[in-house]
Amino acid sequence: MGPTETGWAPRPILISVRVINLLGSLTDYETADDMQRRLHAQVADGAEDALIFFETRPTYTAGRQTKDADIVDADLPVIRTDRGGSVTWHGPGQLVGYPIVKLANPSDVISYIRTVEAGLIAGIRGRWGLDVTTVPGRAGIWLLEEGRRDRKICAIGLKVARGATMHGFAFNVCPDFSSAFTGIIPCGLGDADVASLAGEGITATLSEAKEALAPTLIDHLAPLLERRPSDVREVKEA
């Protein structure tokens, strides 16, 4: 990966980000979670940074801010997790991405969250031209339109431990809303709706979404990393 407008340039010794691509089949959430925790321990100990992309079988994950009232009808397994945020749905048609990276300043979690949002916004705008944005006080990527309720197209729930990040984002590409999110109040926000690329009239595969988001996410994260990357390599599995 060459120089970018952020001002950094490749170092003589290659420091890579490993993009782990689990797309192509549905993954149990527990399997992906086990992988991220194993990678997190390695990255915290000095291994190369990683970015996992996967698509899960239908499930709900409940973050640290989940209230009992947010789970209306537990029609799917509910997995309690240590990320930020409330309850959300994961399943077919949704691209989940977990950056597992070592931060130069791990105490500045807000800066990390804002940077993840900015990288995702750049990818979505650049590839599909959607006027996505952030909403003050609410994590994630949103579509705002006068006369309609705010619509979240990408949820974000993160954690930093031992100087390295865990969890990440869930980008709605083409989920079936007749079954997705039906048993919960998504992210605990009763006054907002959930959006998707398909719902905005855009046809895309999860692989295309990964190709759009991975480069801008890595470019935006690079200045925050303990070791700035000079190479990106993709593998199909850990």
Single-letter residue type at 163: G
Q: Give the helix ranges, DSSP H, for 22-108.
A: 29-44
**Residue 56 bridge partners (DSSP):** 27
What's the longest Cα–Cα distance across the chain?
A: 55
CA dihedral 172, 179, 56, 143 (to 10 degrees): 10
Q: Which helix (H) or strand (E) holds 115?
A: helix 109-128
Give the CA angle between residues 35, 41, 44 to the nearest 5°: 130
Which sequence positions are flagged as catalytic?
Answer: 187
CA atoms of 236 and 238, how far apart (whole Å):
7
